[in-house]
């Protein structure tokens, strides 16, 4: 179970990080954007580490309150899930 958890969080974090980077580039070019709901969903689905890194590295969505609150909450949620898995609960 731990390997599945790690695979999900690593894969989704890579996807989320990439999505934040792509969206930032599209924002600079005034092109079609990735919906905010999609970025938040990637965080909720296990990509919270990648989302936080993407926000920091690309300086993207850092002023939006819903991102400043929701992404860390999803990180804590996935951290708790990981701890429970490691404890065998």
Neighbouring residues of 54: CB distance < 8 A, sequence distance ≥ 6: 16, 17, 18, 19, 20, 21, 60
Question: Rounded to an integer, what distance in angstroms lies between the CA atom of residue 29 and that of residue 78?
Answer: 34
pTM of the predicted structure, to 2 decimals:
0.93
State pLDDT tens for residues 35-61. 999 999 999 999 999 999 999 999 999
pLDDT of 89 > 70? The answer is: no
Question: Rounded to an integer, what distance in angstroms lies between the CA atom of residue 27 and that of residue 30?
Answer: 5
Question: Rounded to an integer, what distance in angstroms lies between the CA atom of residue 70 and that of residue 20?
Answer: 15
Question: Rounded to an integer, what distance in angstroms lies between the CA atom of residue 79 and that of residue 58?
Answer: 24
Kindly indicate the confidence band of residue 81, based on its pLDDT and cuts at 50, 70 and 90: very high
């Amino acid at each position: 179970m731990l390997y599945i958890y790690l695979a999900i969080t690593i894969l989704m974090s890579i996807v989320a990080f990439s999505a934040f980077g792509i969206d930032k580039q599209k924002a600079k070019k005034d092109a079609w954007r990735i919906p905010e709901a999609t970025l938040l969903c990637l965080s909720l689905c296990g990509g919270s580490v990648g989302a936080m890194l993407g926000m920091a590295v690309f300086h993207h969505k850092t002023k939006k309150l819903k991102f400043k609150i929701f992404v860390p909450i999803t990180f804590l949620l996935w951290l708790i899930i990981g701890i429970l898995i490691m404890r065998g609960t």
